[in-house]
């Protein structure tokens, strides 16, 4: 169940150099600086803390720091089981998404008479990913 306060303090210390023995400073970190991280990074930190039942190891803390320092788009999405859906349903959804993207790509090619540029396709995929996730 509970994440020990020491884990909150050590994360604040590792990510922002906050004195882990200063309760007020640790609290300020979560109230202020934590909320300035990207949503993906905040979710990653929350995920990390919810999984702790003791003071995290230095190795784990450094791994968290490294992951959080990545640009938001490079932070992988967190695991969560699909709500009310089986794995098969998720695979089907992914397959539909690929079909849709291929269809859009073909349409774009036909409209412009040239293949879509890599960057444009990346943007399109990102937009679709956002919509489906």
Cβ distance to another protein smaller for residue 30 or 128: 30
Among 16, 25, 63, 108, binds another protein (CB under 8 A): 63
Among 78, 94, 106, 127, binds another protein (CB under 8 A): 78
Among 21, 57, 93, 102, binds another protein (CB under 8 A): 57
**For residue 1, what are its two tokens?**
């169940």
Q: How far is C-alpha 70 from the chain's CA centre?
A: 10
- Minimum distance between the CB of residue 113 and another protein, rounded to whole angstroms? 40
Cβ distance to another protein smaller for residue 35 or 102: 35
HSE-CB at 87 with a 13 A cutoff on CA atoms is: 0
Sequential DSSP letters for 12-57: HHHHH---TT-HHHHHHIIIIIGGGS-HHHHHHHHHHHHT-SSPPP
End-to-end CA separation in angstroms for the chain: 28
Q: Residues in the site for another protein, rule: CB under 8 A?
A: 1-3, 5, 8, 27, 30-31, 34-35, 39, 42-51, 53-54, 56-57, 59-60, 63-64, 67, 76, 78-84, 86-87
């Amino acid at each position: 169940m509970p994440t020990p306060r020491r884990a909150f303090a050590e994360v604040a210390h590792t990510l922002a150099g906050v004195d882990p023995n200063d309760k007020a400073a640790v609290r300020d970190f979560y109230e202020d600086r934590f909320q300035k991280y990207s949503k993906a990074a905040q979710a990653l930190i929350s995920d990390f803390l919810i999984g702790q039942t003791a003071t995290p190891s230095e190795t784990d803390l450094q791994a968290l720091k490294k992951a959080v320092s990545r640009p938001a788009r490079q932070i992988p999405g967190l695991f969560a089981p699909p709500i009310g859906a089986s794995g098969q349903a998720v695979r089907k959804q992914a397959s539909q998404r690929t079909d849709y993207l291929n269809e859009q790509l073909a349409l774009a090619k036909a409209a412009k008479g040239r293949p879509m540029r890599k960057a444009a396709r990346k943007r399109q995929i990102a937009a679709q990913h956002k919509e489906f996730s």
